[in-house]
Structure 1
Amino acid sequence: MLSSARTAHHADVVVVGASLAGLSAAQHLISSGVTVTVLESGPRPGGRMTTDAVDGFLLDRTGQLLNTSFPELIRTPGLEALKLRPFSPGVLVHTDGRNHRTGELRGAKRAFTTARAFAAARASRSAGLDQARLGAALARLAALPIDRMLARPDRPTSTTLATRGLPARTVEGFLRPLLASLLSDPDLTTSSRCADLVLRGYARGRLCLPAGGAGIIPDLLAAQLPPETVRTGVHAKAVGTTAVDTAEHGEITCRSVVVATGARSAAELIPGLRLPGFHPVTVLHHAADEPPLRDASLILTGTRRGPVAHTTVASEVDPDRAPAGEALITSTVLGAAAGLPTAELDRAARAQLARVYGTSASRWRLLAAHHDPDAVPAMPAPHDVRRPVRLLSGLYVCGDHRDTSTVQGALFSGRRAAQAVLRDLGVRPGQGQALRAA
């Protein structure tokens, strides 16, 4: 990557922001023979998807969870080397002073198993029936084509939970805390279509973490681009259809501009672009001398008795995240509690985590508390999960705020923006690959 001291130059397309969406767009454009320059104001690519190394620990700044069913993790050029570390099947839900496993669905094939199989999996008849109903509901979502799902009436998720044919104990004990964590929305004001999409992904795959931290995803994408494509430390002041004005290099000319920053920065660069609301998130990282739980599970805690929405012994899921002989506990705080002062939040979280893990957390070391008030763009109903990426010929915008507020949505919006650019330039997707092969 180039530092900000290098000289500006012309490219076919300038991408503003080395986010997942911007790097995805660059990958697809370059594979079609288009020259691209990516401008990133920060010191490294990735935006929110970055990982800090602290005392041998790898600490993610994001609390978003990945799923093995995300298609763009497979389809995006450059991610072939990405390794996913899945959580244990299902989730642990902390209720009534104990953790119990539920939602143990291993992808679409498992989701299509019969109600009898689910009932047999539980000694208790009522628990078996609950699992059977849950399995049937998730199986229907797993099998439902996306276009039919998006044609459904769109309402706030909180108002649709009771209509899913599940008993109240399943809704409150599993569905509500799961969706709150996956959507980063404790109040579940999110569009029911978006909730259906995430539940569909849950039924068809496994929740997971990227091996080596979330920052490995943008690092892999950036490493696959031609040398000197990504220029860090460059701040865009204004954008047009044929140029980007920068603070460091003046004007960089081009044939098209793709704005791939976060929603707030995009609205500042493009007057009139709607600014969404946001869900604040704080990610807490604690170090311990030994794992409080030797299990690679995601634990849903809810927020009724503490600020933490979900937690995991991250080093049990991905051993690369902690030095030998130590454990990394990563916990995610959502909603108003995410804005508490760090010391106050840490005290409340430790008390809650001690109950969840059944051990004292007083000697744990707080490695980091990453707070982001704009962590996840809100998707209230009605929400268009395919918001336009083409503003006019020569000017495009992409990011999780144009699709769904997930890693899948960010990568897919980058693909959509690249396709729109190529159509306007009259270039067939993949044309560059064909020319090189010839």
Structure 2
Amino acid sequence: MEKSTGGTRYDAVVVGAGAAGLACAGDLCAAGLRVLLLESDDAVGGRMRTDRVAGFTVDRGFQVFNTSYPQVKRRLDLKALRLRPFTPGVLVHTESGLLRFTDPSRRPKESRDLLSGRLASGRDLLALSVLSARDALAPASVLRGGADGTTLDALSAAHVSPRLVETFFRPFLSGVFLEDRLETSARFFHLVWRSMVRGTLCLPAGGIGAVPVQLAGRLPQDVLRTGAAVTVVTPEGVALADGREVRSGTVVVATGQRVAARLLPGLRVPDGRTVTTLYHAASRPPLEEPVLVVDSRRRFLNTCVLTAVQPGFSTDGRALVSTSVLGSPGPTDTDAVLRALGEVYGAETADWELVHRVTVTDALPAMPGPMPLSRAVRWAPGRYVCGDHRATGSVQGALASGARAARTVLADLRAGAV
């Protein structure tokens, strides 16, 4: 830690400076509380971190930034992030080559694969139109309150054909939910589809880590302390790894689910999804377009040329290709992915250099349907918990959970319950 807490007693201690913790701490500070935000790592962000590796900007796992999230609009200066968008839609590698799945209302001239029936039948096109219109136009509260099941149930109810499910939805959504059985909550699927129809997928110029850095920059001085690992939540506050204790009647645990379960014994948390992202450097880009590519054979989750989205991610002119796969593949599997990339991009990959590989355990909480879209943040008197595992596996879910925890803390303090 940067300095001793001495005899200071804080109104609230927030453990974990990921998106949820930053939102919670920010809202508590805005309400006038004396807050200490403790982060075990050397910087903020949690899973939203960016590194510089071999002259490239690489996120800790492939991540995109969705401009339509309400919490994002409320909390962030989007212009300062210097966002650059992906092309709306997705390229799907099929037996017929790369086919484009895109919203005809946005780019009708690029919807020939969809409109011609090469990718979807006329019935599928009608089903997609109804699904997208409903999810885009209905209030979010209606989608949250709808009947729940699995994503596969939702697609069946929307009359999407099994062919389109297997050709597009399963490979595409596997990269969104980090599972390939389409077992994720139907209500969450509808909210995600809504955000994609209404928003734009982008990348910040500084990588996804620029998002939590901006949130942290709005905190008052001396609120954030990095390198401060909390080992135990005590009756008086929290104990740190260096043996010191921070005193507070209010503690908010805003960590990932595994650490939260350790700090709050008895807390039930969902399983996590693990994903590995491979970053390859290529002498020339295999695709000039800033677009996400998925594989109908599901040999990987998704791939894209990051430098086609943000050219500044490379300092030497080489292209940076990101490819994500479920779990943690071994060397043989990694070689197979590279061969698949050669086929998908129609490029020679023998000279591609693997410059970085990152495996993220618990990258997302498992969200099998039916499931509640939010869980209680009050754990015990004066003890709270927030994070995407208490809401939905997204930046919106993490920020909203942090905001909810702050509201609950403030309500309890006003009521004298803490």
CA shift, 1:133, in A, is 3.2
2:115 corresponds to 1:122: yes
2:158 corresponds to 1:167: no
Change (3 A) 1:249 1:5: farther
CA shift, 1:78, in A, is 6.6
1:415 counterpart letter in structure 2: A
Query: Match for residue 3 of structure 2?
Result: 6
1:6 counterpart letter in structure 2: K
CA distance in 2, matches of 1:326, 1:43: 30
2:147 corresponds to 1:153: yes
2:340 corresponds to 1:340: no
The alignment's C-alpha RMSD in Å is 2.4
CA distance in 1, matches of 2:77, 2:407: 17
Query: Match for residue 400 of structure 2?
Result: 412
Instruction: Say whether the 8 Å CA contact 1:39–1:234 is kept in structure 2.
Output: yes
Q: Give the counterpart of 2:220 among 226, 234, 241.
A: 226
SS in structure 1 of the partner of residue 250 of structure 2: strand
Query: Match for residue 278 of structure 2?
Result: 284
CA shift, 1:198, in A, is 0.7
4+ runs deviating over 3 angstroms: 77-80, 117-128, 130-133
Q: Give the counterpart of 2:253 among 250, 253, 259.
A: 259
CA shift, 1:126, in A, is 8.5
2:321 corresponds to 1:322: no
Gaps of 5+ in 2: none
Query: Match for residue 196 of structure 1?
Result: 190
Q: What are the Cα deviations for residues 30-78 of structure 1, in whole angstroms up to 9, with x where unaligned?
A: 1121121111111111111111101220111123433221111111267
Gaps of 5+ in 1: 428-438
Query: Match for residue 381 of structure 2?
Result: 393
Change (3 A) 1:192 1:29: same
Aligned residues: 411
CA shift, 1:344, in A, is 2.2
CA shift, 1:157, in A, is 1.9
Q: What are the Cα deviations for residues 382-418 of structure 1, in whole angstroms up to 9, with x where unaligned?
A: 2111111122331111111011011111111111111
Instruction: Say whether the 8 Å CA contact 2:101–2:111 is kept in structure 1.
Output: no
Query: Match for residue 432 of structure 1?
Result: none
CA distance in 2, matches of 1:394, 1:87: 43
Q: Give the counterpart of 1:375 among 363, 381, 384.
A: 363
Query: Match for residue 430 of structure 1?
Result: none
Q: What are the Cα deviations for residues 2-38 of structure 1, in whole angstroms up to 9, with x where unaligned?
A: xx24112432111101111101111111112112111
Instruction: Say whether the 8 Å CA contact 2:171–2:296 is kept in structure 1.
Output: yes
2:264 corresponds to 1:270: yes
CA distance in 1, matches of 2:94, 2:234: 54
CA distance in 1, matches of 2:225, 2:323: 33
In the superposition, the TM-score normalised over structure 2's length comes to 0.92
SS in structure 2 of the partner of residue 94 of structure 1: strand
Instruction: Say whether the 8 Å CA contact 1:7–1:249 is kept in structure 2.
Output: no
Change (3 A) 1:77 1:288: closer
CA distance in 2, matches of 1:399, 1:321: 29
CA distance in 2, matches of 1:49, 1:418: 21
Q: What are the Cα deviations for residues 61-110 of structure 1, in whole angstroms up to 9, with x where unaligned?
A: 1234332211111112676733332210111111115111113267xxx5
CA shift, 1:252, in A, is 0.5
SS in structure 1 of the partner of residue 29 of structure 2: helix
Q: What are the Cα deviations for residues 111-147 of structure 1, in whole angstroms up to 9, with x where unaligned?
A: 9x9xxx9799835599573434312221111112222
Instruction: Say whether the 8 Å CA contact 2:102–2:114 is kept in structure 1.
Output: no
Change (3 A) 1:104 1:246: same
SS in structure 2 of the partner of residue 426 of structure 1: helix
Change (3 A) 1:7 1:188: same
Instruction: Say whether the 8 Å CA contact 1:91–1:104 is kept in structure 2.
Output: no
CA distance in 2, matches of 1:368, 1:303: 25
1:290 counterpart letter in structure 2: R
CA distance in 2, matches of 1:13, 1:213: 31
Change (3 A) 1:100 1:241: farther
CA shift, 1:323, in A, is 1.7
Change (3 A) 1:245 1:199: same
